[in-house]
């Protein structure tokens, strides 16, 4: 009789019974009882921003707060993310959270998650899928708007500093090709740039969101172009590399220098450079998304509706306003 009841519960797939213990790759049931099991596929660890983003999710989805978090670092490879998501599906986690390295290529694996009835929460970047019921919600920045902010800042800068007939040469250093941070920031900036005949975009080249690549690419750009007036660098880590390259070649930069630097993210180390006048402007993107993820999951658990999209807002920092945030900045 008791066995029948247990069997019936198993068939319903409820509670702790569904996460069986003792099998390879399975979350032990005793660890997950009463906890909400979340599988988190992070795309990599390429930047200071990313480290803060991962930490934010790990700090919020803790056992004390009622979660059991499984974490996987995909090291920039989509196939690793797909593998991690498939493993979360086979473990029958309660939720899948993931930061997609690129926008496309997710339809099949997200369909598998949907078929298994596992809600998917996309964080940080966007996915481009044919059917938007394949994910529950997206929590992240509006990269296009960030790109526009950079463009508008440059408009204002030119209005104050550029000679009437002068052309400015702009180099755009892009992040990971095909990621929404790259696509959006480029599109948003282009939108503004194309309304200015006197802005010449010399090249758009990828620095892959890392300091090492940023430096390498900048050194080759400095050999190729005699006159670079502005560098739009799609994250702070690449900016650190760009600055190293400029220093090595003896080119001045920042508020009092020859090369104007526009950066994105606004991590503490970069904000210090803004305060020193070395980076002209930093467009903020907030990586502290863990709390929002936890809140969305709690709502879903309570059967409450959630939005399809939560936009994480950001500021713009220059030497004039950066001091106000520098002290409290944690990352
Ligand atoms: O700007 C960059 C990171 O997707 C917003 O990814 C994120 C970007 C961020 O590696 O530093």
Structural domains of the chain, with CATH: 20-140+287-312 (3.40.50.2300), 143-285 (3.40.50.2300)
Q: Are 239 and 208 in contact (CB under 8 A)?
A: no
Residue 157, sorted as left (phi over 0), alpha (psi -120 to 50) or beta, turns out to be alpha
Residue 108, sorted as left (phi over 0), alpha (psi -120 to 50) or beta, turns out to be alpha
CA–centroid distance, residue 49 to ligand 1 (Å): 6
Coil, strand, or helix at residue 140?
strand
Please give the model's pTM, rounded to 2 decimal places: 0.91
Q: Tokens 């009841």 appear where?
A: 5
Rounded to whole angstroms, the Cα distance separating 187 from 144 reads: 6
For the chain, state the CA radius of gyration.
Answer: 23
CA–centroid distance, residue 179 to ligand 1 (Å): 9
pLDDT at 44: 98
* Cα angle 186, 187, 192; round to 5: 100
Tens digit of pLDDT for each residue in 150-163?
999 999 999 999 88
Rounded to whole angstroms, the Cα distance separating 263 from 47 reads: 13
Rounded to whole angstroms, the Cα distance separating 285 from 312 reads: 8
CA-closest residue to ligand 1 atom 8: 181
For residue 42 and ligand 1, the question of a CB distance below 6 A is answered with: no
Nearest to 40 by CA among 122, 154, 160: 122
Rounded to whole angstroms, the Cα distance separating 16 from 143 reads: 39
Q: How confident is the model at residue 252 (pLDDT cuts 50, 70, 90)?
A: very high
Give the atom of ligand 1 at the shortest distance from the alpha carbon of 46: 10
CA–centroid distance, residue 185 to ligand 1 (Å): 11
Rounded to whole angstroms, the Cα distance separating 109 from 260 reads: 43
Tens digit of pLDDT for each residue in 296-326?
999 999 999 999 999 999 999 999 999 999 9
């Amino acid at each position: 009789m008791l066995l029948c009841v247990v069997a019936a519960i198993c068939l319903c797939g409820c509670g702790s019974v569904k996460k069986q213990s003792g099998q390879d790759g399975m979350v032990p049931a005793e660890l997950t009882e009463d906890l909400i099991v979340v599988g988190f596929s992070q795309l990599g660890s390429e930047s200071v921003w990313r480290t803060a983003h991962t930490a934010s999710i790990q700090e919020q989805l803790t056992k004390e707060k009622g979660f059991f978090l499984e974490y996987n670092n995909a090291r920039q490879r989509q196939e690793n993310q797909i593998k991690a998501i498939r493993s979360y599906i086979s473990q029958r986690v309660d939720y899948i959270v993931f930061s997609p390295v690129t926008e496309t290529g997710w339809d099949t694996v997200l369909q598998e998650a949907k078929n298994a009835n596992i809600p998917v929460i996309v964080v940080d970047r966007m996915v481009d899928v044919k059917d938007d019921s394949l994910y529950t919600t997206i929590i992240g920045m509006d990269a296009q708007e960030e790109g526009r902010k950079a463009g508008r800042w440059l408009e204002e800068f030119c209005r104050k500093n550029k000679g009437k007939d002068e052309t400015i040469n702009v180099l755009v250093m892009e992040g990971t090709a095909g990621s929404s941070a790259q696509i959006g920031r480029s599109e948003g900036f282009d939108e503004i740039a194309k309304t200015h005949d006197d802005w010449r975009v010399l090249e758009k080249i990828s620095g892959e969101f890392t300091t090492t690549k940023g430096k390498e690419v900048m050194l080759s750009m400095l050999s190729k172009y005699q006159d670079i007036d502005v560098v739009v660098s799609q994250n702070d880590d690449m900016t650190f590399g760009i600055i190293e390259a400029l220093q090595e070649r003896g080119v001045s930069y920042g508020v009092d220098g020859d090369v104007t630097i526009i950066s994105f993210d606004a991590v503490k180390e970069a904000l210090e450079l803004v305060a020193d006048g070395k980076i002209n402007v930093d467009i903020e993107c907030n990586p502290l998304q863990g709390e929002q993820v936890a809140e969305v999951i709690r709502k879903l658990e309570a059967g409450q509706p959630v939005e399809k999209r939560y936009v994480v807002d950001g500021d713009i920092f220059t030497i004039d306003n950066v001091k106000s945030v520098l002290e409290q900045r944690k990352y």
